[in-house]
Amino acid sequence: MPGTPAVQPKLSIIVPVLNEAKVLTDLLTHLTHWQQRGAEVVIVDGGSTDQTTTMAHSAGFDVITTAASRAHQMNAGALACHAPHLLFLHADTRLPANADTILARTFNATGSIWGRFDVMIQGHSKMLPVVATLMNWRSRLSGIATGDQALFMTRELFNKVGGFPEQPLMEDVEISKRLKNICPPVCLREKVITSGRRWDDRGSWRTIWLMWQLRWAYWRGEPAHKIAERYR
C-alpha cells in the first residue's frame, strides 16, 4: 500500500488494470500528467499475467495487487488513497487535459457530490458517435453513470454507500443507483475519450443490442453473475 503523500492531494485517481500491457504505455503517460499536476494515482492490478505490473513499476508507479474483480480493485484503491475526492478511471479512458480544474470547480460549487463526464468513443465504426450520444443522453435522463464516463465522487459519499458492490458486472450501475438515492449526479458536458475496441471487435450493432439486453436483464433483477456470463 502506498505511503501517505508528503502533500495531501485533493484528487485521487484510481485505475483498475488486468493484462493491459498493450495499451499501458499510453495510459502511464496519461497518468504521469496527472501526477505532475498534483493528483494521487493509485493503480490496482487484478493479477496480470503479462508485463502490466512490471511496466507500471518501471514508470515509477506504486501498484496494489488484489483479486481480479474490477469492483474489488476499485474499492481497494479507494481504501489505499488519501484524497477527499475520488475518480475511477478505466484503463482505456482518457480524461480532458484540465479535468482536475473542472472537478475542483465542481466539488467547490456543490460540496458533497458525485457525477461523471460525457463520453466520446474513439474507434473505426461510424456508429460510435451515435453510441456515445445515446450513452450520454440515457445517463443524463436516468441518473445512472457507466464506468467509461469516469465516475467521480467525494470520499464521504463513497463511504456512505459502502463503495462499489462486490459483483462481477454492473457495479457502476449499482453504485449509481445507491448514490442517486442520496443526491442526483452532476453530468459534466466535458468529454472523456474511451476506446471503441469492444464495438470494433464484436461489431457495433451486435454490441449495442447485447448491452441493452444486459441492462434490461439487470433492471428486471437477473443476478449480476449470470449477466457476466452472457457478457463474456
Whole-number Å distance between alpha carbons of 69 and 16 = 9
pLDDT for the residue numbered 197: 74
Residue 119 φ/ψ, nearest 5 degrees: -125, 145
pLDDT for the residue numbered 1: 44
pLDDT for the residue numbered 232: 58
Burial class for 68, CB neighbours closer than 10 Å (0-12, 13-18, 19+): middle
Strands 63-65 and 40-45: parallel
pLDDT for the residue numbered 13: 98
Cα 8 to Cα 11, 85, 106, 110, 159: the distances in Å are 9, 11, 19, 21, 19
pLDDT for the residue numbered 59: 95
The model's pTM is: 0.88
Whole-number Å distance between alpha carbons of 191 and 198 = 19
Contact (Cβ atoms closer than 8 angstroms) between residue 223 and residue 181: no
pLDDT for the residue numbered 151: 98
Residues lower than pLDDT 70 in the chain: 1-7, 199-232
- Which CATH class name applies to 11-196? alpha beta
